[in-house]
Every structure is written in C-alpha cells, then in structure tokens.
C-alpha cells in the first residue's frame, strides 16, 4: 500500500534528515541512561525507525517487526512495549540471546504510523558461563534465558512479574534492567520525534515521505546492481576456523550473478551447521540487508540505508547450513560466521571490480570475559569486545584496531581499571599482522591484561588459523593468538575459543587479534611509507625487507634507496605470476584438502 500526498523534494529532505537525527538521538539517550560498559562505552546496540508496515526507513539493522506483530493476535497497541531475545522466534533478526530487542508502536491521532525499535547486548543472560556465550554450547538451551515476544509494558503498565522472572536468570540483573529501560527510553524519544513530524507536515505527507525514501533507495540500488554485478556466475570461498568443539574448518561459499535488474546471492556449498555455537541463524530478509549495506558502504555511501531494495535480491540459504541452522542449534558465538559473511561478499564482488574491491578483515568479533570475586568478596564480571584490522582498499590503507561495526568504540582502559580488578599494561598495534600491500591491511591489536584478583577467563575469537586474505597482489594479514603468562613466568598458549580458564592475581593475558589483508603489490608501496610503519611498530625490519623489498639501516631506520631498488627488481624477476588473491599457506592447504574451486582459481595480477 502506498500513500499519495503532495510532496516536494525540500520537504522530503527535511523529513529524511529529521529521521536521521532522531535515529542518532536514540543512541544519545541510550548512552546517557545505560549502565553496562558494553552498551554505554562500546555502543553494542542497533536502532531503527520503521513505517507502519514494519519496513526500516532509517537505522542500522533490518526490520524484524512484521513477524513479531503477527505474534500478538490483538496487535501492538498504544502504550505497549514488546521485549524479546529468542533468535528463532524473530527469524534471526537478533542473532543470539544476549541481544534484548525492544519494539514500540507509534500512533498519531489513533492511527498506526510506524514503529521504533532498538536492541542492545546484555552483559549476562544466564547459562553456564559468565557473559553467556559459552564456547562449548551444543544447543541454544545452553546459552542462557530465551525471552519470547512479551509485552513488558501493556497499555503503559510495566509487567513487573515477567521482568523479575527474566532478571532472576542473569548474573547482572541491575545492569540488565537499567540497559533495558535505556533502550525503551531511546525508542520513546524516536516515537516523540515521529509524532512531531506528523504534527508539522501532516500524517499523509509524512507517510508519503517514508514511501519515497524507500523507493529512492531502491532506485539507487538498482543502478548499483546493474553496474557492479556481472551476468556470469562468480563464486568465492572462505573459511571459519572452528566451532569451539574441535570441529572445522568450515567452508562458506557464495555464488553471485545478475539477471536483468535482479541480483542473486547463492550460499549453496556452505558447510552444514556446526555442533558448536558459531551458527548464524539469518533469514532471507536479513541476508539481503547485509548484502545491500555492504554494496552501499563500498560503492556509494551517500545512499540512505533502508529496507526499500529487498525485492531486487534473491538469496539462497541452504537449510541446515552454517547460515540457516535448524532449531535448536547453538548460535551464541555466531559473529565468527557473521563477519566472515562480509568477507565472502567482498571477495565475490571484488573479482570483477578491482577498482572498488577490498581484502579480508579480521573476520570475527573478539570477545573477552573476566569474572570472579574481588578481594572484598564482591562479584565482578568484566565483558569487553576487541577489534582488529580492517582491509586494505584501493584508496588507502586499512584501519588499525577498528571495529567492523562503524559506530562501536573501545572501552577505555581507565574504565576497566576503575571498576574491575584488572590493569591494562598495553594496548597497541600487533606487529606484522597488517597484510603487506601497496595499501597495507589494518593491523590487529595487542592488549595485555594483568589480573589483580583470582578469577576465571573466557575468550572467543577466530582467524587463528585462516589468514585474512590479500587481494590484487596484496598479501594475507596476520593471525590472532592468546597467551597466558603466569605470575611465575611460565607461558600457556590458549585456543581461540575457550571457557573456564582459571587465573590468579599477577597472571597476564596477551590478547592479539588478527590483522587484515593488503591491497595491491607490496613492492609498489613507497619506501618512506614502509619506513614509517617500521618506526610505528606496525611492520618489522624483517617484513620490510622480505615483503616490501625495502632495505633499511637497523639503527637510524634510513632507507637505502639503491639497495631497495635493486632488491625490488630482483624480487619481481624471481617471483613469477602473482595470484590475484593471497589466502596464506593454511588456507591454501584447506582448499586442497576440501577440493575447493571458485572463481579465484587461475586469477593473476
């Protein structure tokens, strides 16, 4: 259904920017009211404003609302607030039970004109492991409380009994309740702004503006599809390391092509669902959203990101696969697979578009939990997301130690040291993790924690064995690693996914995240840029010579121009053809073992 009301371009722009401002105001309200560091400091939350059909018009995530509205026979009425956290009851729109999702209907003079919605990651939702993302979970029942769609407010009245039952199943009830009320406040703020727009411009004109914004995004996406996606089929394969239970590596395969103005993304060939919790329960709509947002951000960031383009995509997600697991598959650590989804999209789209292609990034969401009782006997639970290298690009180097999600930030060391018995001794780029290239990949980070109290540690990461690949002559990025240094000096290498690691006061954890692949031939990188990276501690002297062909004085760091030119000529003569994609030795071995074939085979720069 489409409304028809007089609408000029100036009014449309005013309404669009008012909605964008309201979306960021949701964030601001949440950050001021939330208590947990993972929301307040790291911004692990996603807002959106939708039309009356539940289609996202502005926001960070795709719409899940139509399926939730159908859950309530009487509908969602004025004063109602819906809360849920079960991925299997919202078609995977939230992807694990730590994410608490809030939906509020927006009514104007008795008519439904839209919805506001927001979800945020809760510090803890129960289960066997503090932080509620157990590496060894075999079903979703082992990952904490699953909240079905429930009206936590009905007609403006709080359902205190339901909330008490939910909070009774968490280790951090005070933080969870505060963050929940902050999410509701953010949605209420957007609700108010939508009502103001209806009052200012009239209900019909406001609704027409939403239709126009969705249609405008659709038209822009249609042009991107025709320009960027070929009619011939192109396939690309990457790997997820393991599932935390010793199984893996897991293949993720994507084949793309175009028929007229419609794009096809087929994940046939992706491995079956894992026993462990790396499964990503994604529905067709959400898959379209992730593909669309990648194309918008990579090819034309000025396009308004919304749900308007879904009918232009066809997506195949084989049932029972890593990307479409059957209930009750465990999904708590799904971001190892989720972020790898962007890598295969990047690889497939980049084959025909080298001028806009990117390499692979750190490909996960490194996660760290430290819990226990402090010297005064008080329970503590520190939860932190860490970041890694962002891919090298045609226009420049990748970002060092950056989040995949553009608005996430790092928790300040001062915050952790103030509230938890921990000391952050180092937070720096990880040496030689940045994939060499004309434009190098971003470096991972090396963070060193010293524990000041006995406790327990959980970690979850990936890219410990499968390198982030380089592209068009760029080399792969460095791997992640975790090393526990006991207070007596002994060292223990930890798996990338591990729970129940006992630590004592004085022990240290060296947490290194993966870097990203480089773009373009490293021998084309200006020698002075390599010199700068050596001085900055991003590239070692050995890598400068072996990967970039740059000869430097070990004490002054001055470049020997003549020796560098000579070495680079020799390296070019000796190396022969350069593969367009550099996956690294371990991934090359995986590809041989699994008989993997894709469109990168036989491609050279």
> Distance of CA 29 to CAs 146, 360, 395, 497, Å?
26, 34, 35, 34
- Return the pLDDT at 320: 97
Cα–Cα dist 438/430, whole Å: 19
Q: Which of 192-196, 238-242, 301-305, 508-512 has the lowest mean pLDDT?
A: 301-305
Confidence tier at 66 by pLDDT (50, 70, 90): confident
Do 82 and 68 meet the contact criterion of CB atoms below 8 Å apart?
yes
Global confidence as pTM:
0.94
Q: Is the pLDDT of residue 247 over 90?
A: yes
Q: Of the candidates 29, 43, 208, which has an alpha carbon nearest to the alpha carbon of residue 116? A: 29
E strands, 42-174, in order:
45-50, 56-59, 81-84, 99-108, 111-121, 150-154, 157-158
Instruction: Name the nearest CA neighbour of 530 among 515, 554, 550.
Output: 550
pLDDT averaged over every residue in the chain: 95
CA 355 to chain centroid, in Å, comes to 24
The residues that bridge with 119 in the sheet, in sequence order, are: 46, 101
Tokens of 484: 């526990």
pLDDT attached to residue 521: 97
Q: How far is CA 496 from CA 89, 326, 368, in A?
A: 30, 25, 11
Q: Do strands 262-266 and 313-316 pair parallel, antiparallel, or not at all (unpaired)?
A: parallel
- Please report where in the chains the tokens 């429930």 appear, as a residue: 150
* Mean pLDDT of all residues in 343-360: 91
* Higher-pLDDT residue of 236, 605: 236
- The pLDDT-based confidence of 355 (bands split at 50, 70, 90) is confident
Averaged pLDDT for residues 139-149: 97
The whole-number average pLDDT for the span 522-545 is: 98
pLDDT for the residue numbered 41: 96
Segment 14-33 shows an average pLDDT of 97
pLDDT over threshold 70, residue 2: no
- Of 402, 421, 420, 422, which is closest to residue 410 (Cα–Cα)? 402
Average pLDDT rounded to a whole number, residues 288-317:
92
CB 187 within 8 A of CB 276: no
pLDDT in tens, 67-107: 898 899 888 999 999 999 999 998 778 999 999 999 999 99
- Confidence band (pLDDT; 50, 70, 90) for 282? confident
Among the residue ranges 30-39, 63-72, 153-162, 539-548, the one predicted with the least confidence is 63-72
Q: For residue 238, what pLDDT band results from cuts at 50, 70 and 90? A: very high
Domain boundary assignment for the chain: 9-219, 358-521+581-605, 526-577
Cβ count near 395 (within 10 Å): 9
Q: What pLDDT score does 4 carry? A: 54
Span 279-293, mean pLDDT?
A: 89
pLDDT at position 5 is 63
CB 38 within 8 A of CB 384: yes
What tokens does 460 get? 């979850």
Please, are residues 447 and 511 in contact by the beta-carbon 8 Å criterion? yes
- Residue 284 above 90 pLDDT? no
- The percent of residues above 70 in pLDDT, for the chain, comes to 99
Q: Residue 1 has what pLDDT?
A: 44
What is the rounded distance in angstroms from the CA atom of residue 372 to the CA atom of residue 502?
A: 10
């Amino acid at each position: 259904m489409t409304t028809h009301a007089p609408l000029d371009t100036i009014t449309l722009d005013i309404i669009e920017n008012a909605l964008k401002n309201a979306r960021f105001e949701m964030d601001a309200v949440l950050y001021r009211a939330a208590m947990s560091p993972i929301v307040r400091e790291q911004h692990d939350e996603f807002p959106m404003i939708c039309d009356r059909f539940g289609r996202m018009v502005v926001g960070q995530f795709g719409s899940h609302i139509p399926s939730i509205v159908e859950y309530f026979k009487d509908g969602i009425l004025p004063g109602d607030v819906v809360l849920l956290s079960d991925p299997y009851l919202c078609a995977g729109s939230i992807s694990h039970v730590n994410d608490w999702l809030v939906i509020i209907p927006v009514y104007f003079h008795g008519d439904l004109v839209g919805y506001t919605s927001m979800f945020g990651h809760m510090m803890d939702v129960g289960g066997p492991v503090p932080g509620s993302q157990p590496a060894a979970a075999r079903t979703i029942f082992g990952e904490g409380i699953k909240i079905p769609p429930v009206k936590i407010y009905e007609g403006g009245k709080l359902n205190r009994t339901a909330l008490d039952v939910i909070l009774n199943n968490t280790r951090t009830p005070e933080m969870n309740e505060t963050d929940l009320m902050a999410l509701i406040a953010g949605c209420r703020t957007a609700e108010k702004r939508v009502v103001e727009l209806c009052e200012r411009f009239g209900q019909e004109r406001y609704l027409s503006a939403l239709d126009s914004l969705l249609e405008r995004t659709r038209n822009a996406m249609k042009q991107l599809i025709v320009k960027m996606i070929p009619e011939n089929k192109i396939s690309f394969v990457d790997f997820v390391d393991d599932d935390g239970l010793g199984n893996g590596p897991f293949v993720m395969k994507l084949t793309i092509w175009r028929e007229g103005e419609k794009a096809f993304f087929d994940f046939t060939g992706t491995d079956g669902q894992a026993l462990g919790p790396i499964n990503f329960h994604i529905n067709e709509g959400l898959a379209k959203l992730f593909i669309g947002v990648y194309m918008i951000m990579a090819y034309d960031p000025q396009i308004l990101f919304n749900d308007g383009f879904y009918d232009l995509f066809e997506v195949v997600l084989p049932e029972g696969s890593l990307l479409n697991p059957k209930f009750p598959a465990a999904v708590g650590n799904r971001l190892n697979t989720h972020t790898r989804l962007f890598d295969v999209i990047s690889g497939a789209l980049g084959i025909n578009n080298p001028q806009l292609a990117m390499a692979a990034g750190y490909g996960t969401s490194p996660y760290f939990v430290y819990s226990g009782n402090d010297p005064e006997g008080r329970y503590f639970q520190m939860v932190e997301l860490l970041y890694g290298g962002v891919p090298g690009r045609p226009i420049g180097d990748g970002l060092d130690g950056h989040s995949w999600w553009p608005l996430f930030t790092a928790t300040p060391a001062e915050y952790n040291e103030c509230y938890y018995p921990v000391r952050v001794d180092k937070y720096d780029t990880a040496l030689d993790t940045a994939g060499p290239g004309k434009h190098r990949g971003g470096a991972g980070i090396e963070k060193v924690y010293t524990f000041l109290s006995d406790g327990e540690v959980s970690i979850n990461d990936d890219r410990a064995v499968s390198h982030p690949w380089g592209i068009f002559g760029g080399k792969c990025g460095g791997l992640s690693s975790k090393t526990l240094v006991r207070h007596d000096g002994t060292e223990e290498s930890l798996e990338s996914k591990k729970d129940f690691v006992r630590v004592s006061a004085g022990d240290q954890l060296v947490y290194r995240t993966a870097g990203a692949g480089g773009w373009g031939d490293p021998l084309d990188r200006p020698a002075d840029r390599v010199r700068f990276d050596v001085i900055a501690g991003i590239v070692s002297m050995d890598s400068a010579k072996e990967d970039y062909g740059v000869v430097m004085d070990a004490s002054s760091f001055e470049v020997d121009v003549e020796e560098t030119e000579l070495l680079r000529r020799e390296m070019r003569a000796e190396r022969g053809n350069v593969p367009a994609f550099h996956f690294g030795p371990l991934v090359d071995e995986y590809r041989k073992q699994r008989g993997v074939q894709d469109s990168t085979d036989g491609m050279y720069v």
